[in-house]
């Protein structure tokens, strides 16, 4: 898995567990993070997957995901993890709350593009997921990671940080993208 993010590793391993696919973080194989120079989630996902394949010679799955807030013209978008200049989740959440201070329209969506690159195949497999919600005025819940404590799941009336991990995976942008990616992998290699 072309990430070192422990939250993503847990979510992805949980999604792929039933398929008997062992998820190994790229850091366990000595692979450094790729430079995310793309301007879209798809570009960054492909950059990360190809970087891991080039470093290991093994097939790799990567994802790029982020939060797009309607009132902020899609920001933080591809810069979600670096929104507060790399200061981490708490600082990112603080900056988002400050940017939305006094804003009534708090619609937002998590986006995820997941990519599978097989060194033996010229064409990557790519899948996307989108999870619509709203941004809360204050953090709620202690689960999840990133913007989860601020992301209201309207149909459940709670933040994504308050969802059980299985329910979160069933609803989330990453869960959607990875389930679609797994279907593409099964279809190609069955």
Query: What are the tens digits of pLDDT across the range 55-106?
Result: 999 999 999 999 999 999 999 999 999 999 989 999 999 999 999 999 999 9
Q: State how far the alpha carbon of 83 is from the alpha carbons of 34, 105, 119, in Å.
A: 18, 20, 33
Query: Would residue 18 show up in a list of annotated catalytic residues for this protein?
Result: no
- Domain locations in the chain as residue ranges: 6-189
Residue bearing tokens 């992301």: 151
Distance between CA atoms of residues 27 and 30, nearest Å: 5
Long-range CB contacts (within 8 A, 24+) of 88-95: 89/145, 89/146, 89/147, 92/146, 92/147, 93/139, 93/147, 93/149, 93/150
pLDDT tens digits for 112-121? 999 999 999 9
pLDDT of residue 58: 93
9-18, 20-29, 66-75: segment of lowest average pLDDT: 9-18
Tell me which CATH code domain 6-189 carries.
Answer: 3.90.950.10
Confidence of residue 17 (pLDDT cuts 50, 70, 90): confident
Phi, psi of 107 (to 5 degrees): -65, 145
Global confidence as pTM: 0.91
Choice among 17, 33, 35, 64 that is catalytic? 64
pLDDT tens, position by position, 128-143: 999 999 999 999 999 9
pLDDT in tens, 43-63: 999 999 999 999 999 999 999
Cα(2)–Cα(48) distance, integer angstroms: 6
* Cα dihedral across residues 6, 81, 91, 147: positive or negative: negative
Residue 13 reports pLDDT greater than 90:
no
Neighbours of 78 (CB within 10 A): 21
What is the Cα–Cα distance from 41 to 49, expressed in whole angstroms? Answer: 12
Nearest CA to 53 out of 114, 2, 10 is that of 2
Neighbouring C-beta atoms of residue 101, cutoff 10 Å? 7
- Entry field: residues in the chain: 190
């Amino acid at each position: 898995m072309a990430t070192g993010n422990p939250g993503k590793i847990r979510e992805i391993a949980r999604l792929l567990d039933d398929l008997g696919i062992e998820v190994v973080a790229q850091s366990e194989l000595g692979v450094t993070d790729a430079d995310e120079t793309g301007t879209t989630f798809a570009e960054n996902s492909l950059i990360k997957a190809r970087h891991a394949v080039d470093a290991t010679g093994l097939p790799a799955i990567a994802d790029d995901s982020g939060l797009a807030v309607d009132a902020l013209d899609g920001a933080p978008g591809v810069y979600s993890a670096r929104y507060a200049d790399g200061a981490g989740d708490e600082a990112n959440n603080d900056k988002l709350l400050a940017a939305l201070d006094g804003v009534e329209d708090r619609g937002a969506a998590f986006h995820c593009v997941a990519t599978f690159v097989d060194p033996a195949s010229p064409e990557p497999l790519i899948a996307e997921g989108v999870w619509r919600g709203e941004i809360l005025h204050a953090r709620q819940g202690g689960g999840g990671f990133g913007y989860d404590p601020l992301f209201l799941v309207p149909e459940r009336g709670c933040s994504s940080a308050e969802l059980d991990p299985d329910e979160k995976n069933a609803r989330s942008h990453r869960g959607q993208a990875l389930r679609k990616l797994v279907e593409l992998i099964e279809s190609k290699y069955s």
